[in-house]
Amino acid sequence: MWQRLMRIDRRWIFLAIGLVVASPFIFGWSLPLGRPSPPTKALFDFIEKLPPRSAVMIAFDYGPASMPELQPMAVALARHVLSRNLRLIGISLYPQGTSLCQQAFMKAASEYGAKEGVDWVNLGYRPGYQSVVLGMGTDLTKVYRADHKGTPISELPVMNGIRNYDDIALVIDLASGATPGMWIAYAGARFHQTLAAGITAVMATDYYPYLQSGQLIGLINGLKGAAEYEVLINKRDLAALGMTSQSIAHLTIILFVILGNIGYFATRSQQRPMGGGQRAR
Amino acid sequence: MPAEAASAAHSLPPLVDLIGIWLAAFLTLAIYSFLYGDNPVYKFAEHIFVGVSAGYFVVIAYHEAIINDLIKPLFRPQEVGLERPAYSLIIAGVLGLMILARFIPRYDWLSRWPLAFLFGLGAGVSIPANIHGIVIPQLRETIRPLLVPGDWWTAFSNVLLAGGLICTLFYFFFSVEHKGALRYVARTGMFFLMVGFGAGFGNTVMARLSLLIGRIEFLRYEWWPTVVELFHRLVG
For B213, which of A125, A203, A246 is closest by C-beta distance?
Answer: A246
Mutate to test the interface with A, among B213, B215, B222 (most CBs of A within 10 A): B213
- The mean of the pLDDT values for chain B is 91
- Alpha-carbon distance of B156 to B183, in angstroms, equals 24
The per-residue pLDDT for range B124-152, each reduced to its tens digit, is 999 999 999 999 999 999 988 998 898 99
A238 CB neighbours in chain B (<8 A) are: 1, 214, 217
- CA A60 from centroid of its chain's CA atoms: 10
Which residues of B are less than 8 Å from A185 in CB distance?
126, 129-130, 132-134
**pLDDT tens digits, residue range A141-153?**
989 988 999 898 9
Predicted confidence band of residue A273 (pLDDT cuts 50, 70, 90): low
DSSP character string of A230-261: HHHTT---HHHHHHHHHHHHHHHHHHHHHHHH
Summarize pLDDT for A67-76 with one digit per residue, the tens. Answer: 999 999 999 9
What is each CA distance from A64 to A111, A193, A204, B27, in whole angstroms?
A: 23, 28, 19, 14
Q: What is the pTM of this model?
A: 0.89
DSSP at A8: -
Is the CB of B1 less than 8 angstroms away from the CB of A181?
no
**Rounded Cα–Cα distance for residues B236 and B232 (Å):** 6
| pLDDT score of B188 | 95
For A183-237, write each residue's pLDDT tens digit.
999 999 999 999 999 999 999 999 999 998 999 999 999 999 999 999 999 999 9
- HSE-CB for B17 with a 13 A CA cutoff: 8
Write down the pLDDT at residue B111.
95
Q: pLDDT at position B98, please?
A: 95
Q: How many angstroms away from the CA of A275 is the closest CA of chain B?
A: 32
User: Per the CB < 8 Å rule, is A126 touching B64?
Assistant: yes
B81 touches chain A (CB under 8 A): yes
| CA distances, B149 to each of B140, B144, B162 (Å) | 21, 13, 18
pLDDT of residue A43: 98
Q: Which distant-in-sequence residues (6+ apart) come within 8 Å of B9 by Cβ?
A: B225, B228, B229
Compute φ and ψ for B138, nearest 5 degrees.
-70, -40
pLDDT at B3 over 90: no
| Per-residue CA distances from B106 to B100, B101, B103, B110 (Å) | 12, 9, 9, 9
Q: What is the pLDDT of residues B78-96, one digit of tens each?
A: 888 788 999 999 999 999 9
Residue A105 has pLDDT above 80, yes or no: yes
**Phi and psi for A41 in degrees, rounded to 5?**
-65, -35
Candidate from A22, A209, A245 with C-beta closest to B138 = A209
Cβ of A67: how many Cβ atoms within 10 Å? 21
Q: Give the per-residue pLDDT at A280.
A: 43
Mean pLDDT of B45-49: 96
CB A246 to CB B206 under 8 A? Answer: yes
pLDDT of residue B23: 96
Share of chain A above pLDDT 90, in %: 81
Chain A window 33-62: which residues touch B at a Cβ cutoff of 8 Å?
none
Confidence band (pLDDT; 50, 70, 90) for A270?
Answer: confident
Let me know: does A169 contact B167? Beta carbons within 8 Å. Answer: no
**pLDDT at residue A5, as a whole number:** 83
Taking contacts as CB-CB distances below 8 angstroms, the residues of chain A near B134 are 181, 184-185, 189
Contact flag A25-B61 (C-beta cutoff 8 Å)? no
**Given this model, what pLDDT does residue B81 score?**
77
List of E strands, chain B = none
Task: Tally C-beta pairs within 8 A across A and B.
Answer: 135
Q: Name every chain A residue with its beta carbon within 8 A of the beta carbon of B130.
A: 185
In this structure, are residues B219 and B1 in contact, taking their beta carbons and an 8 Å threshold?
no
Distance from C-alpha of A209 to C-alpha of B141, rounded to nearest angstrom: 9
* Distance of alpha carbon A62 from alpha carbon A71, whole angstroms: 9
CA-to-CA dists, residue B213 to A17, A26, A233, B210, B221, angstroms: 11, 12, 22, 5, 12
pLDDT higher than threshold 80 for residue B10? no
Contacting residues of B for A26, CB less than 8 Å apart: 220
Q: Is there a contact between B207 and A222 if contact means CB atoms under 8 Å apart?
A: yes
Tell me the backbone φ, ψ of residue A87, rounded to 5 degrees.
-85, 135
The neighbour count for residue B103, using CB atoms within 10 Å, is: 9
pLDDT tens by residue, B167-220: 999 999 999 898 998 999 999 999 999 999 999 999 999 999 999 999 999 999
Contact between chains at A201 and B204 (C-beta distance less than 8 A): yes
Please answer yes or no on whether B214 and A67 come within 8 Å at the CB atom: yes
Nearest to B212 among A21, A190, A212 (CB): A21
pLDDT score, position A277: 47
> For B47-57, what is the mean pLDDT?
93
* A152 close contact with B: CB closer than 8 A: yes
A242·B213 Cβ contact <8 A: yes
Instruction: Specify the pLDDT at position A281.
Output: 42
Q: Which helix (H) or strand (E) holds B18?
A: helix B15-32
Secondary-structure percent of chain B, ordered helix, strand, coil, rounded to 5: 85, 0, 15
User: Which of A118, A159, A164 lies closest to A142, judged by CA?
Assistant: A164
Does pLDDT of A41 surpass 70? Answer: yes
Contacts of A190 in chain B (CB under 8 A): 129, 132-133
